[in-house]
Amino acid sequence: MAQTTRSAASNGPDGQRAPAPPPKGFRSAELGWPELHRIPHPPRRLPVLGDILGANVRTPLQDSMKMAAQLGPIFRRKAFGKEFVFVWGAELAADMADESRFAKHVGLGVANLRPVAGDGLFTAYNHEPNWQLAHDILAPGFSRDAMAGYHPLMLDVARQLTARWDEREAAGRSVDVPGDMTKLTLETIARTGFGHDFGSFERSAPHPFVSAMVGTLSYAQRRNVVPPLLTPLVLRGADRRNDADMAYLNRTVDAVIAARRAEGGSEAGGSGDLLDRMLQVAHPETGERLTPENIRRQVITFLVAGHETTSGALSFALHYLSRSPDVLARARAEVDEVWGGEGEPAYEQVAKLRYLRRVLDESLRLWPTAPGFAREARTDTVLGGEHPMRRGAWALVLATMLHRDPTAWGDHPEEFDPDRFAPSAVRGRPAHVFKPFGTGARACIGRQFALHEATLVLGLLLRRYDLHAEPGYRLRIAERLTLMPDGLTLRLSRRARAA
Cα dihedral 307, 308, 309, 315 sign: positive
Angstrom distance (rounded) from CA 435 to CA 186: 23
CA triplet 357, 427, 369: central angle to 5 degrees? 40
Give the burial string for 276-294 (b: 16+ CB within 10 Å, else e): bbbbbbebeeeebbbbeeb
Angstrom distance (rounded) from CA 150 to CA 189: 9
Cα dihedral 385, 439, 352, 324 sign: negative
| Residues facing 87 on adjacent strands | 74, 397
Greatest Cα pair distance, the chain, in angstroms, is: 70
Angstrom distance (rounded) from CA 304 to CA 451: 16
Active site residues: 309, 437, 444
Give the burial string for 456-492 (b: 16+ CB within 10 Å, else e): bbbbbbbbbbbbebeeeeeeebbbbbbbbbeebbbbb
Q: What share of the chain is helix, strand, coil (3-state, %, to 5)?
A: 50, 10, 35
DSSP string, 341-410: T-SS--HHHHTT-HHHHHHHHHHHHHS-SS-EEEEEESSSEEETTTEEE-TT-EEEEEHHHHTT-HHHH-
Residues contacting 363, CB < 8 A, separation 6+: 313, 316, 317, 319, 320, 416
Angstrom distance (rounded) from CA 244 to CA 251: 10
Strands 394-398 and 372-377: antiparallel
Instruction: Look at residues 472, 499, 498 and name the one whose alpha carbon lies nearest to residue 487.
Output: 472
Strands 372-377 and 102-104: antiparallel
Return the number of other C-beta atoms located less than 10 Å from residue 142's C-beta: 17
Angstrom distance (rounded) from CA 385 to CA 296: 43
3 state SS of 86: strand
